[in-house]
Every structure is written in structure tokens, then in C-alpha cells.
Amino acid sequence: MNDNKPEKAILVGVELKSDAGFNFQASLQELQALTEAAGGEVAAVLVQSRERVHGATYIGKGKLEELKHLAAELEPDLIIFDNELSPVQLRNLEEALNIKIIDRTMLILDIFSQRAKSNEGILQVELARLQYQLPRLTGQGVTLSRLGAGIGTRGSGEQKLELDRRYIRQRIQDIKKRMQKVENTRKLHRVQRQRSGMKQVSLVGYTNAGKSSLFNTLCQTGHRSKTAQVKADQQLFRTLDTTIRKIRWADQKEILLTDTVGFIQNLPHHLVAAFKSTLEEVIEADLLLHVVDISDPDAADKIEVVEKVLWELGADSDRIVTVFNKSDLLQDPPDNSGPAIYVSARTGQGIDDLLKRLEIILF
């Protein structure tokens, strides 16, 4: 297979009639963005409205036949489902369609596999992938036999078909031991920073809200290099490994600024568990800046997702300041006298106000 050629995918979603408060269309659009972030190309989207998902095949019998005909016509490389499939559903769908099947969780794990660069990040992603794969080994004949076949089979967690549960369980234990050592080192560094009295500020928010762009803008203002420190673009989960930089501004105030992985709705619990030590360090910062894309029509829903994750992690709401990014796209942005701060990482608008607010709160 040509590595430069994007894999063609059919996306499948089930809109539950009982899920009145859930933005189904936004979820499907996000699945498309995730597919593109993984290097795929969406050939078609198939949607079904049901009271509940089908226990054996996720979609109903008639819709499965429709999907079979669509796959025969478009000849995609894989089919991606907008929800986590059970081992039974995965096995039945592969047998019925004879094509690589992955779900939202596998897709996110694949993106994380591509983006992880640090030793800790690679271990965290592999742990999450193995924990997800373990109960699904019997249902992944097609997926696991197509070694190196791209989305859903990539990264440090990629294993050959003959590796059994015993090996995977042993590997999980080995990774946990290695991660414990990394976590102990992290705690030591954290204690040293606390003793130095250096204040720490973490950027948190939904993926693609502009955290990395804001991080770069603040580094260009206050880091000794005066240059961007991380890669920032429109792809989901561009930042995976935590980056910490010291920044200083005019009156010699100094802080440690942390850029972190973005959140997303239905973030796989395996990933949350694997990244627990990283996320715990983030929420233990002196201040959390919750970065929100103010131009996003689904901003309110995404704020809710992030707040829910932060609450589950035990973050103190009194230490969270909301930063509305991309305020240059507003016709009449507020004057920053309220509790939230409006900035534009692109134009620098509101950055001085943000630094003043940090000074008031931290010093």
C-alpha cells in the first residue's frame, strides 16, 4: 500500500432517539476530523436512527445490508464507527463485511500512537492500546492480520496476531512498572519546583481550541528564545506530550507555563487512565487556564466536556480562569474587566490583559 495515499473510510453513526441532549451531528463532524487527523479520507457517511444500538452488530440488519452494498461500491480500506464497539460487535461486523473495522476509541488511540514522542507518552499510549485490545483479541482477525495496514493498527502497541493474552498481560505489567518509575521522577521534579517557589500555570481545553497557539504567543512574549516552542495547527491532538517553559514579563514576574493534551467528548477511559499521572500534574498547577475557541458554534458543549473531565480529575474550580481565544473573530469583544479573558493568540489581542490577570492572581 502507498503510504502517501490516504486510506479511504466509510463512517457509521447511530443516532439514539433517547439521547435528546447529545449533539449527534457535531460528533459525526468530529469523527471526520479525527479520521483526517489519522491520515484517512472520508468516502461516505452512513447514519441510522434507533431506540438503542443493536447488541450484535451495532446497526440493524437492514442498515448492515446497506453498508455491505456501499462498501462493495466504494471499496474503502476501513469502516469507522462513531462509538466504542463491544468485542462481539467487532467480530460480527468483520465477519459480515470482511473489511477492517475500527471504532472511535481505536481511531483516537491510532492518532495518539502517531503523535507520542516522549518515552512516557509512548508508554502511556501503548498501555491504553493493549488494555483496549485485550478483551477484543478474538474479534480482531481482520484488523490484526493486516499488519502495518494503517489506521487502527499502527504505533508502539501494534502486535502480531500470534501474541496471546498472556503476553499482553505481561507487557501491561511491565509498562506499569516502567511508568511508576517515570511518575516517581515526575513527583520529585514537582517537589523541587514547589520548593523553588516557582508558580505553575497549565493550559487546558478541548482539542483544537488554540492552546498550543496561545502557548507559543506567551513564549514569544516572555521566553528567553522569543520563539514558538511547540507545533500548532488545525489538526486534532497536535499536542500530546506535555511541554513546560519558563516565561517572564516586564516587571520580572516568572512562571512555568505548561501546554497539555486536549480533551474530547467520549475520550477513551483507557487513555484517561494511562495519562492519569500527566493529567494529575496538570491539575495540581497553581492556576489552570481553560482555553476556549470562542468562534466555535459548539463552544458551550465543549466547555461542558472539559469541565466534566477536570471535575473528575479533582481540579479546584477556584483555580480555573476561562480564556476565550480567537476573539479577533468577534465583532465587538468584551473589555476583559469580567472574570473571563478574551484574547487572540494569532494577533496578540488581549495578551497584556491576560498577563496582568496572572500577576494579580499569582503574585
Do residues 79 and 97 make contact, with C-beta atoms less than 8 angstroms apart? yes
Feature table: binding site: 205-212, 237-241, 259-262, 325-328, 344-346
Task: Give, in order, the Cα–Cα distances in Å from 354 to each of 217, 291, 321.
Answer: 12, 12, 10
Query: What count of residues does the chain have?
Result: 363
Work out whether strand 253-259 and strand 243-249 pair parallel, antiparallel, or are unpaired: antiparallel
- 7-165: CATH homologous superfamily? GTPase HflX, N-terminal domain (3.40.50.11060)
Q: How far is Cα 202 from Cα 320, in angstroms, rounded to an integer?
A: 10
For the entire predicted model, the pTM comes to 0.80
Q: What pLDDT score was predicted for residue 28? A: 93
Which pLDDT does position 231 carry in this prediction? 66
Which residues belong to the annotated binding site for GTP?
Answer: 205-212, 237-241, 259-262, 325-328, 344-346
- Read off the C-alpha cell for 214: 496561545
Task: Name the stretches of the chain with pLDDT < 70.
Answer: 1-4, 20-21, 138-163, 228-241, 277
Contact 179, 125 (CB under 8 A): no
φ, ψ for residue 181 (rounded to 5)? -65, -45
The yes-or-no answer to whether 7-165 and 198-362 have a common fold is yes
Which fold does the domain 198-362 belong to in CATH? Rossmann fold (3.40.50)
Domain ranges of the chain: 7-165, 198-362
* Residue-level pLDDT at 291: 96
Q: How do residues 199-210 score in pLDDT, each as one tens digit?
A: 999 999 998 889
Write out the binding residues for Mg(2+): 212, 239
Given this model, what pLDDT does residue 157 score?
45
- On the CB side of 1, CA atoms within 13 Å amount to 12
Query: Distance between CA atoms of 59 and 215, rounded to whole angstroms?
Result: 42
